């Protein structure tokens, strides 16, 4: 029995690491029933401590006793949040919170705020879909590549066929980001269970054709995630997209025909979605552009980008069921998107437009995912 | 074109976060061709900076110029490493390295050291298996639970049936830890591609029956990972194990019969493997005990733990093809394991024993995985 307690002690000491660990007293950060969130960090000798919450909060914390700094925030919306501290100019994570995510290469702590139990980004007691990390063959790129696939609850047990939503990430992202920062599996689980979205397969490929997989799954070992890709929006990804669709149709029980296929994405992924759907109008009845990185820079660079207006007119003649655009009022791409809308308006091409607050950020993209997935495959 | 550069600039600034980011100059940490590894951290006003590498290194770093601290280590073995810095007593991560993993709730940076290109924990250019996060039904526990399943390369394309290795985590771990700290997918990919291991399905359930899933996938939201489970080695997990096996046999193309089934695990998972195989000797021809948390505390607590000696004799009468034990010389469980070996010896029960250096740590468990998976399903 003595040995048992020694064992327990050593196990706990070992895994906590020798440094600075204190037994957890409460979940971190501390979320009260009214949804207020209290952040704490120990920094006895610091002069200033700041709390940064992704793009949303940058505020000074207050000294509380000898070594603790704290702050309570009261008006945060239900959502996923990412945060860290700046202690006298140095970035420090919350050592009491083991949950971390990265945005490109910026690692932050994370929590989901769900005070009313209805946040679609939270895990709820509903049937959960399956998430697969698969490697598909891309003959166009001459390599195997990794992608993530969400299969709705019941897929394995049924013989049913399902519609497919191709969900694309932004520059700096990879095949994992829609599951991690985007909470795609939780959003789909919750919306499908609530009867708000149709059961669907969601395919999340890697849009950086220079890499086979997310940096951590790469042969390059300790290479870092980056924006700096050689083949960045040069048409290569769009040209290789059929490799993905063919692999998906071969390996999953997909429904065939454009009315059972959607494509959407954020920023660079919105740009990819725009051009893939414009070049393959017969393939997608639903298009979602989430703060798309629209610009005019690519004319003449690759035939994928040429003659957009003509292609759009042809695409809309085939009557997409939904052409959806969302953007924040403060997005630095707002003006480019407004110009793109003018182009659509001039040609009487009908789209659905959603203007939100804030800028080019995940809080918007998670919302757009929630909205868009409730509109597709409904008829 | 101007707008394009502005766009690029804003994209990069945004995702890097406002604080402390510097453009990456080289992969971090810096691994030279001879395998030496240089760690650097900026801390202008610090008095002491230490580098901690999991259980293996705790060393002072040296000031280099005005704000940088650095150290080069020359004799690290090829493996996965986890590290962080202590700046004047405060834990700080390497902000130049986006790759992080956690050990229970201690978040650390990580890298794989593979100077010769032959480390089985590294990603190599070989066919990659598929990794699935699935939810199975446990009628015994009355709940759905999450587990991870590795399917070898080619599974989806073949009609072949495969042997199954049930791989169990330790106390403080969860269903994800053998994939993350354990590098199970990379190890299996590499060994199978090299003809050293048989293609096999690897099933990684969650051994903490109090939770449905890893903390980050839990309904409890911001709950923290912990050792403190109510049902901790009380027989509940062992009694519910058939739910897992039945679900796996129903949902995957498994080969039937004990010669196509292995069970193994680390620490608490070794303990689980010992008792599950002793209570179900007809189910497993291969048993792997990796630094198993063997103790005598559980007699009378649950029938699963009673009459071990009798059960072991019955198990060995059924001639397991391999009963494998590995432990480090410095493991705090060494003595308990030595006593268990005496029990086996006394009864002339034949096992394979592997004694390594070091203690109760992942460097050993990854090695044991590499060794054990090359010994199973060979005949």
Q: Is the pLDDT of residue B2 over 80?
A: no
B80 touches chain A (CB under 8 A): no
Q: For residue A209, say if its preceding peptide bond is cis, omega within 30 degrees of 0.
A: no
pLDDT of residue A230: 76
Alpha helices in chain B (DSSP H): 2-16, 177-180, 184-193, 236-239, 241-251, 268-279, 308-317, 334-346, 362-373
By DSSP bridging, strand A100-103 and strand A143-151 are unpaired
Is residue B297 predicted with pLDDT exceeding 70?
A: no
Question: Is the CA virtual torsion B105, B111, B114, B118 positive or negative?
Answer: positive
Q: List the single residue in A93, A224, A226 with the smallest CB-CB distance to B93.
A: A93
- Residues sharing a CB contact under 8 Å with residue B136, sequence separation 6 or more, in sequence order: B144, B145, B147, B205, B243, B244, B247, B248
CA B351 – CA B364 distance, rounded (Å): 19
pLDDT confidence band for B26 (50 / 70 / 90): low
> Would residue A316 be called left, alpha or beta, if left means φ above 0 and alpha means ψ between -120 and 50 degrees?
alpha
Rounded average pLDDT over A325-346: 97
Q: What percent of chain B has pLDDT over 70?
A: 91
Q: What is the pLDDT of residues A195-239, one digit of tens each?
A: 999 999 999 999 999 889 998 887 776 788 887 777 778 899 999
E-assigned strand segments in chain B: 30-31, 37-42, 49-53, 57-60, 62-64, 68-73, 79-87, 90-92, 100-103, 106-113, 130-138, 143-151, 164-168, 201-204, 261-266, 286-290, 322-328, 352-356
Q: Best interface-test mutation with A: which of B2, B10, B11 has the largest number of A CBs within 10 A? A: B11
pLDDT score of A17 more than 70: no
A368 touches A288 (CB < 8 A): yes
Nearest to A254 by CA among A189, A129, A128, A160: A160
CB atoms within 10 A of CB B257: 11
Residue A296: what pLDDT?
A: 61
Q: How many CA atoms lie within 13 A of A199 on its CB side?
A: 18
What is the reported pLDDT for A229? 74
Encode pLDDT of B205-245 as tens digits: 999 998 899 988 877 767 888 877 777 788 999 999 999 99
A75 in reach of chain B (CB within 8 A) = no
* Inter-chain touch B100–A107, beta carbons under 8 Å: yes
Q: Please check the confidence at residue A12 and state whether its pLDDT lies above 80.
A: no
Instruction: Give yes or no for A156 touching B (CB within 8 A).
Output: yes
Q: Are A135 and B127 an interchain contact pair (Cβ–Cβ within 8 Å)?
A: yes
Chain B residue numbers with beta carbons less than 8 Å from the beta carbon of A188 are none
* Any B CB within 8 A of A257 CB: no
Domains and CATH numbers, chain A: 20-113 (2.60.40.10), 130-373 (3.40.50.1820)
Backbone angles phi, psi at A20, to 5 degrees: 70, 5
Mean pLDDT of chain B: 91
Average the pLDDT over A242-246 and give the result: 98
Confidence of residue B9 (pLDDT cuts 50, 70, 90): very low
d(CA A3, CA B297): 9
Residue in the structure block whose two tokens are 């004319």:
A299
Q: Could you tell me which of A269, A134, A149, A150 has the C-alpha nearest to residue A213?
A: A134
Q: What CA–CA distance (Å, rounded) separates B142 from A263?
A: 38
Using one digit for the tens of pLDDT, what is the confidence trace for A247-300? 999 999 999 999 999 999 999 999 999 999 999 999 999 999 999 999 765 666
Q: How many CB atoms lie within 10 A of CB A142?
A: 8
Going from the C-alpha of A295 to that of each of A292, A334, B270, the distances in angstroms are 9, 11, 57
């Amino acid at each position: 029995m003595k040995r048992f307690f020694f064992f327990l002690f050593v196990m706990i000491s070992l895994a906590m690491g020798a440094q600075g660990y204190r037994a957890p007293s409460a979940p971190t950060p501390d979320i009260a029933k009214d949804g207020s969130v209290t952040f704490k960090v120990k920094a006895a000798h610091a002069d200033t401590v700041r709390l940064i919450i992704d793009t949303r909060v940058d505020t000074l914390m207050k000294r509380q006793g000898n070594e603790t700094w704290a702050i309570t925030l009261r008006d945060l919306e239900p959502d996923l949040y990412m945060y860290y501290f700046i202690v006298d100019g140095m970035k420090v994570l919350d050592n009491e919170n083991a949950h971390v995510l990265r945005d490109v290469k910026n690692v932050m702590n994370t929590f989901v705020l769900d005070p009313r139990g209805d946040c679609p980004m939270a895990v709820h007691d509903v049937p959960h879909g399956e998430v697969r990390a698969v490697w598909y063959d891309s003959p166009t790129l001459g390599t195997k590549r990794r992608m993530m696939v969400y299969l709705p609850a019941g897929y394995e047990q049924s013989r049913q066929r399902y519609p497919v939503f191709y969900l694309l990430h932004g520059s700096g992202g990879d095949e994992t980001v829609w599951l991690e920062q985007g909470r795609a599996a939780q959003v789909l689980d919750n919306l499908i269970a609530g009867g708000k979205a149709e059961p669907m397969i969601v395919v999340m490929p890697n849009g950086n054709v220079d890499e086979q997989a997310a940096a951590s799954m790469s042969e390059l070992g300790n290479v870092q995630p980056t924006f700096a890709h050689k083949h960045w929006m040069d048409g290569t990804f769009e040209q290789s997209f059929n490799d993905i669709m063919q692999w998906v149709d071969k390996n999953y029980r997909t429904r065939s025909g454009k009315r059972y296929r959607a494509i959407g994405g954020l920023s660079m992924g919105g740009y990819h979605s725009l051009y893939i759907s414009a070049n393959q109008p017969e393939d997608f009845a639903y298009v979602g552009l989430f703060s798309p990185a629209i610009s005019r820079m690519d004319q003449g660079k690759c035939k994928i980008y040429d003659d957009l207006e003509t292609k759009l007119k042809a695409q809309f003649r085939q009557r997409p069921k939904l052409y959806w655009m969302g953007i924040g009022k403060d997005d630095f791409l707002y003006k480019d998107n407004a110009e793109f809308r003018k182009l659509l308006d001039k040609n009487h091409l009908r789209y659905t437009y959603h203007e939100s607050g804030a800028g080019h950020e995940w809080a918007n993209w998670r919302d757009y995912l929630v909205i868009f997935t409730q509109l597709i495959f409904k008829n």
